Structure 1
Amino acid sequence: MADLLTHVLVAYALGTVASWRLEWLSKRWIAVAMVGAVLPDLNRIGLFVADPAVEGILGAPFAIDALQTLGGIIVLAGLGALAFDRRWMRAYGLLLAGGLSHLLLDAVKRYADGHAGTWLFPVTWYRHPTPNLYVSSDPAVLLVAASVAFAVWAVDRRWADDHEPA
């Protein structure tokens, strides 16, 4: 759970900082990016549903672990963007950005063999060596993410109060 919350908080912080420059990036759109940060963890559905069950429903080969890859995020963001009427391109971009922030954060965490997963699929199967910056279950990572998100929130609130029309 700490890993999932960390990804959501990082997406919030990145989205809020981006909103300082992009006028159209409102709190609602930041929330869309935060949802995008959850998309790669949909592969956890594999704990409850086996690949053959999904293959039977879809009628095509399917691997749930593929959801935590670049290709999986591209597809999931596209499916999520279908829920938006006229602003589907913006929604797609923000869902994709949130998912990419998740994948990039996971690209530097510690793995037992020292190499990241194949998160760049379908571009490449290459598993790059990681700098082993953190373990996803470490509560300190969540504490750092929460602190950064809180600091960004505080600056954003202060800036909004200072620039409120009289």
Structure 2
Amino acid sequence: MADLFTHIATVFIILKLLSWKTEFIEDKLIPVGMIGAIIPDLSRLEIIIPSPIIEQLGIHYTWFGLHTLVGATITSIILTLFFEKQHRTKVLILLVFGVISHLTLDFFLISPSPEQYAILYPLAWEPPTIGIYLSTDKIPAILTGTAATTIILIEKTRKNKRQ
């Protein structure tokens, strides 16, 4: 769970800082980017509904595709369809931003092998991992949580000064 929190908090931090500089990113849409950061980890549904169960229905399927740039982007496009037409462009950009942030942070994970998963599948490019932290490490979650809390406090201070 520390890894998931880190993905969500990182997107919050970046989008909140960007929202201070640009009108494109509205505060009410920041959670959309945070949802985008969750999309690649939908592949963990494999734990609850293993692929062989789906394959018994006659459908060849693997959850792994959700944890690739292509699979997560397709999922983002599908999710965008649930929003009103005038918001879809922003929503898609924010969802894909969350996806890219997630996959970028995953480059820093310590992998049991020297190769990373095929993040850019179907190109099957498997870049080496940088290997800074484990997905179970709590330090990244503590750092991003502290940064997010600091940003919230700064924003409250800024709002109080304007009033």
Would you call these one fold, judging by a TM-score over 0.5? Answer: yes
Is 2:113 the partner of 1:118?
no
Aligned residues: percent identity?
Answer: 27
Letter in 1 for 2:80: A
Query: Which segment drifts farther, 73-82 or 146-155?
Result: 146-155
Counterpart-to-counterpart distance in 2, 1:89 and 1:150: 29
- State whether structure 2 residue 58 is matched by structure 1 residue 62: no
Cα distance in 2 for residues equivalent to 1:100 and 1:60: 28
For residue 31 of structure 1, report the CA deviation from its aligned partner: 0.6
Task: Tell me, in whole angstroms, the C-alpha distance in 2 between the residues paired with 1:44 and 1:18.
Answer: 30
Deviation at 1:60, TM superposition (A): 4.8
The worse-fitting range, judged by mean Cα deviation, of 4-13 and 152-161 is: 152-161
Match of 2:133 in 1: 134
SS of residue in 2 equivalent to 1:115:
coil
Partner of 1:33: 33
Aligned to 1:145: 144
1:121 Cα offset (Å): 1.2
- Please report how far the alpha carbon of residue 5 of structure 1 lies from its aligned counterpart in structure 2 after TM superposition: 0.9
Q: What displacement does 1:55 show? A: 4.7
Secondary structure of the corresponding residue to residue 38 of structure 1: helix
1:1-166 map, 5 Å: 1-55=1-55, 60-86=59-85, 87-122=87-122, 124-162=123-161, 164=162
2:119 maps to a residue whose letter is W
Pick which of 85-94 and 148-157 moved more.
148-157
Measure, in 2, the Cα distance between the counterparts of 1:109 and 1:46.
20
Secondary structure of the 1:20 match is helix
Q: How many residues align?
A: 162
TM superposition shift of 1:140? 1.1
Give the SS at the match of 1:37: helix
Q: For the Cα contact (< 8 Å) 1:16–1:156, is it kept in 2?
A: no
Give the Å deviation of 1:11: 0.9
> Where in structure 1 are there 5+ consecutive unaligned residues?
none
Aligned amino acid, residue 119 of structure 1: I
Q: For the aligned residues, what is the CA RMSD?
A: 1.7
Whichever residue aligns with residue 95 of structure 2, its letter is L
Contact 1:78 1:92 survives alignment (8 Å):
yes
Where in structure 2 are there 5+ consecutive unaligned residues? none
Which secondary structure state, in structure 1, belongs to the residue aligned with residue 21 of structure 2? Answer: coil
How far is 1:79 from its partner? 1.1
C-alpha deviations, 1:35-92, integer Å up to 9, x for none?
11111110011012122443566x6532101100001111110111011012111111
Could you tell me which amino acid in structure 1 is paired with residue 68 of structure 2?
A: T
Distance 1:96 1:54 in 2: 27
Distance 2:130 2:9 in 1: 22
Distance 1:96 1:56 in 2: 32
Measure the CA separation in 1 of the matches of 2:148 and 2:103.
Answer: 18
